[in-house]
A and B are shown apart, each in its own frame.
Chain A
Amino acid sequence: MSGMSKIVKTISSITFPFVTIYGLYVIAHGHLTPGGGFQGGAVVASGCAMILVAYGSVWTMGKIKEKHLSVLESFGAIGFIGLAFLGLIFGTMFFKNFLVGNDFLFGEIGKGLSNISTAGALPLMNFAVGLKVIAGLFGIVLVMAYTTKAKGGKIE
């Protein structure tokens, strides 16, 4: 596909920042409200897929390659596993929540009052998994749309 009409492009350009902000909000408040890394990442990836549908896969592939997305996804995975190993180093075991209980970062105990500085390593893991899900889902959609694009009206 080679992009849709000007109306669709304009409307999706206007809507895209709001979708992204909402997805990042869902990721950042994953330990307080319904949602988390997976759901927020799916929201952001849906916004990127909207841009992909509106502008066409060739234009989008010119803006961002799937190599960059795979690097982003690898960073998410390394961050997630690295946080788990930090639990092994600073705490007692793998996936130990080592940040909770001290005064450093996100260290307070949640009491149902929507305090965002709670829950230890969980918000950091939410960010890592959110980055991973954004890059993974959008990369899958981008690669499938680019390699199956129509040439001259018929599926190649």
Chain B
Amino acid sequence: MKHLLPWIVFALLLLMLPWLFPSVLGISILNEMAIAIVFALSYNMLLGQGGMLSFGHAVYFGLGGFMAAHALLGMELGGPIFSVTLIPLVAGGFGLLAAVLIGSFSTRRAGTAFAMISLGVGELLAALALILVSFFGGEAGISGDRSLGPAFLGADFAQDSQVYALAAVWTFVSTLAMYLFTQTPAGRMANAVRDNPERAAFLGYNVQRVRLLSFIVSGFFAGVAGGLFALHYEILTAQNLSTTTSGNVLLMSYIGGVGFFTGPMIGAVVLTLINSVLSHYTELWLLYLGLSFVLTVMFLPQGLTGLLMMHRTPWRRGRLRSLLRPYLLTGIPATLCLFSVFALLEMLHQGSGSVMFFGLALNTEQPWAWLGALLLAIAAAYGWRRSLPSLREAWRSASQEDAP
């Protein structure tokens, strides 16, 4: 019962969210989240669980998506007609096929060599996508109509909310399947090969075959995500299998935390929110995203999930309350510092004229605006630094085990 609880919560969340955010935009963001969750989880099968850093995971996402778009287009042009609930399966199958082909040579080694091959394959496909027009559709891409298949339980999937229901079911099933994979001997061996390939080889395991199996399963679920993407947007372009998309999924997984199964899910949710909400408020959102990614790699190698999980010990010992004061003492100057740095960046970006920043009109022509922001940034940074030792001390005493 205990390990069923997270799944029940997850299912309830998937069920409740469309009632909480019923607007067109809300449903659309939820769909994007579902797609991102499946994609990021499939990516973490490689990076987190298999130790394979890929710079070309969008290949399987994109190829699956294109296949799904062709299947949708085929219904329009007199091809086989089937329920669109099965589209992700078609896409996943194609992603799996691509993963079998490419994985057969790319999984021979992990580490830098694997990363390089994945980058090469990714760039190769991205360049080919612009040449092979009949499959990838060139500049215009491939678009299809998702409402042409036979109705399923009375839904024809013309509406975004119906697509959400479909995406939610597929997301739940895929997440469950990927979690169960980590519990199988193959999933366990993937971890072993990640941590010590030589030892695994000495135990008699074929290291490449272990990696290949993870790679293929990962390719399948990346394809499923691509299929959901095709259903949601009804169009695929070469952009979807470019290295930008591959980089994006790396960002999601890393910011969420690659060491945890739930990490990429949290990363996917956070990044989708940033993507669709923050971009309304500032033109510099990609800069902030890059900044937070670099800072995450430097100071939070375990990602956001790692940050949350760190608090398990203090929580178990009932010491979480003792952390509140040091957190506030550090958090206030840190927030002020970031606030003023962002103000400086926004002013720098604006160049001339005034810029609205949290309801504050900053005039870039006025030297005091620059000076004020700069002084505040320096003062807050000083306060931030001064507060760190006491935070460290409080953290140590809260998470230390009591002497028996």
Do A and B make up one complex?
A: no
- Interface of B toward A, CB cutoff 8 Å: none
- Interface of A toward B, CB cutoff 8 Å: none
